[in-house]
Structure 1
Amino acid sequence: MSYCGSASEVFRSPLSKLRKTPGVGEVIARAILHPDVLREAEQTQQRCEKLGIQQLFYTDKAYPARLKALYDSPAMLYFQGSANLNAPRTIGIVGTRQATDYGRRITEELIQAVQPYQPLVISGLAYGIDIAAHRASLVNGLPTVGVMASGIDIVYPYVHKKTAQEMVLLGGLLTENRPGVKPDARLFPARNRIIAGLSDAIIIVEAATKGGALITAEYANNYHREVFAVPGHLNQTFSQGCNKLIRENKAQIYTKPEDVIEALNWDQPVSKTAPIDKTALALEFTEEESQILALFRQKPDWHIDELSWRTQIHIGKLASLLLNLEFRGMVRTLPGKKYQLN
């Protein structure tokens, strides 16, 4: 829009001008000028209003801050539910569709253990470990969000529709696909990146050496999230993926729920966090942004690891908060993962 002058001018601009716009190119330029594009957008808008689906653009306040810092964050999300997508604490739990009793038990025990910390539990609404995580969250009164590889109006697999409806009341459904889009093989890896990006930590409960859970772990490592894998029997197919992640140092070994709780600093008392800067709050900064700014007023530059320790904010979420502060002109990035107050 900055290149063309306004949103309306984008659709009035000639193809030659759109081609030259940075980040657009031939394919997107032709899609913008397609005669049906505005009609389809209007139909999507009407469909979302009818179904009670929120459309979250990248610049919207309700858009997940954890995703904003990512290089491949979706420009638009569709959300149906009541959960806070910017919850202070989040975990993702994923695994094989062919879960064993052992895997389901580990999932249920983990969710019971983290219940006092009230995290948002994220998974993919699939068979096996995913649906076990969602259902255990509902039983324990935890908000849980299912990230979908389809439009929100097309629950896949259909047998999970009842659980999906319950999740809308305590949690929600999230996707980057507009209503009416059917699940497709190419959409599942894209779905997995959103699960990884939304989560402060990803726990792989059971997985084969290939599959969606390992793709999610790969994304989580790229996004600098904590990754845990539950070890399993050496001859069990759906433990081989977890064992491989641990062997290759791509995941920490999960032995008990406290492993996750301690890694995310959830066990730290609130009194040990940095003081809240009331001036920053008055300027409509969040409490966590205020904590960060209070530290910058004590010392003008900080390494991100030291900031994470002082604020007790997980480093993945802290990076998103710092990016928001940089957009607002409050801090700037220095070489070596350091930040400085402007």
Structure 2
Amino acid sequence: MTENELHYLLALQKVDRVGDIIAKKLLNHCGSAEGIFKAKTTQLAAIDGIGKVLLKRLANPDIFSQAEKELRFIRDNNITVSFFREESYPEGLKHCTDSPILLFTSGNINLKQKRIISIVGTRQVTPYGMDFCRKLIADLAPLDPVIVSGFAYGVDILAHQSAMENNLQTIGVLAHGLNQIYPKSHKKYKPQMEGNGGFMTDFWSTSHPDRENFIKRNRIVAGISEATIVIESADKGGSLITANMANDYNRDVFAVPGRTSDKYSQGCNNLIKTQRAHLLTSAADLVYMLNWDMEKKEKQIQKQLFVTLEPEEQLVFDFLQKNGKEQMDLMAVHCGLPVFKLSSLLLNMELKGIIRPLPGKMFEII
């Protein structure tokens, strides 16, 4: 991504009522942010959902002066920017329709070939939750996962601290720009965080930690990771919103059970009771459900010499061989097959000993 294209992307973000979904629609139609602003009005008007009001807002020159100021902040503060079409953009978020078109990061983040989990929970974490969180991360440390959370009080900061104590990479997803730290009392953790990972946000330096921003940032916490773990939660709270988002993204959700009389176990118990989360009692549960124990072994790919595959089966096999394990709905999209057809193909391939099913409607080659 060139600096010129980044300038246009930032300007696009400042167009009133253009969120990530509409922005992606415009980008897919015009090819680039610069192409959007240089396109003819008749061309843009032909796009579904683009009306006269939005066309007028795209012509507002003020958005470019605001974009220039933010671009200067990015340059002056060594901020890394990832565009959703680039290889550097987190793979998990690429499959979320409402993921940010731009991510701003600071620190030393490296997500290539990494297991990523999000840990969330109440700000009023109890000794029970503290002990569980610390032990969980320590037990997972040999598998070198990246620990993601929201850098808030309670479970969030405890997860970050525990990750750093075990020399694991950790990422704080912020509900504001990278020019500040909220809560201010957590500023003391910034140097170590940036040494062991860093911070990520889709908010500009002009944004403040407003209430609605915390809900918006939760989609990054849920979407970036392979699984979301809820340590403790009351019957209502931000961590439950994150868990619901993770379910919407077809990600695994885990919840730590507690006594029915404990206020900060009610949310977790309800997630488990309503089958919106797997029960989590130890790191071993997570490793088993995510199939991480199998990933430690070398994959033995079935030799095609002894198996006859139909053309569509070969298409699925080639896709899985190239991409590794994948979720069935996403496989259907990439292979251009209806879900009902793909489901039948996967069953036949499983019976032939070519693939195996995994938790979360995932499949991989044996």
Alignment partner of 1:300 out of 314, 317, 323: 314
- State the identity as a percent: 37
* 1:244 counterpart = 2:270: yes
Change (3 A) 1:62 1:28: farther
1:97 shift after superposition? 0.5
1:32 shift after superposition? 2.2
* 1:80 counterpart = 2:106: yes
* 1:149 counterpart = 2:175: yes
1:217 shift after superposition? 0.6
Alignment partner of 2:339 out of 317, 335, 340: 335
Change (3 A) 1:117 1:221: same
- The residue identity in structure 1 corresponding to 2:148 is I
Match of 1:182 in 2: 208
Q: Distance in 1 between matches of 2:39 and 2:144?
A: 49
Alignment partner of 1:134 out of 160, 164, 172: 160
The answer to whether the 8 A contact 2:329-2:339 is kept is no
1:302 shift after superposition? 3.9
Q: Distance in 2 between matches of 1:7 and 1:205?
A: 41
1:273 shift after superposition? 1.8
Which sections of structure 1, spanning at least 5 residues, go unmatched?
Answer: 278-294
Match of 2:81 in 1: 55
Q: Distance in 2 between matches of 1:24 and 1:223?
A: 26
- How big is each residue's C-alpha offset from its partner over 1:66-106, in whole Å with a ceiling of 9 and x where there is no partner? 11111211111111121223443111100001111111111
Change (3 A) 1:28 1:183: farther
Q: Distance in 2 between matches of 1:337 and 1:162?
A: 54
Match of 1:260 in 2: 286
Change (3 A) 1:10 1:224: closer
The answer to whether the 8 A contact 2:232-2:268 is kept is yes
- The residue identity in structure 1 corresponding to 2:156 is D
Change (3 A) 1:23 1:272: farther
The answer to whether the 8 A contact 2:141-2:166 is kept is yes
Match of 1:284 in 2: none
Higher-Rg member (1/2): 2
1:63 shift after superposition? 0.5
Match of 1:124 in 2: 150
Alignment partner of 1:99 out of 125, 129, 146: 125
Q: Give the 3-state SS of the residue equivalent to 2:89 in structure 1.
A: coil
Q: Distance in 1 between matches of 2:170 and 2:83?
A: 21
Q: Give the 3-state SS of the residue equivalent to 2:340 in structure 1.
A: coil
Aligned residues: 313
Change (3 A) 1:98 1:81: same
1:333 shift after superposition? 3.6
- TM-score (norm: length of structure 2): 0.76
- The residue identity in structure 2 corresponding to 1:179 is S
- How big is each residue's C-alpha offset from its partner over 1:213-240, in whole Å with a ceiling of 9 and x where there is no partner? 0001101111111111111122211111
Q: Distance in 2 between matches of 1:55 and 1:27?
A: 29
1:180 shift after superposition? 2.5
Alignment partner of 1:39 out of 51, 60, 65: 65
Q: Distance in 1 between matches of 2:250 and 2:30?
A: 36
The answer to whether the 8 A contact 1:87-1:120 is kept is no
Q: Distance in 1 between matches of 2:273 and 2:297?
A: 38
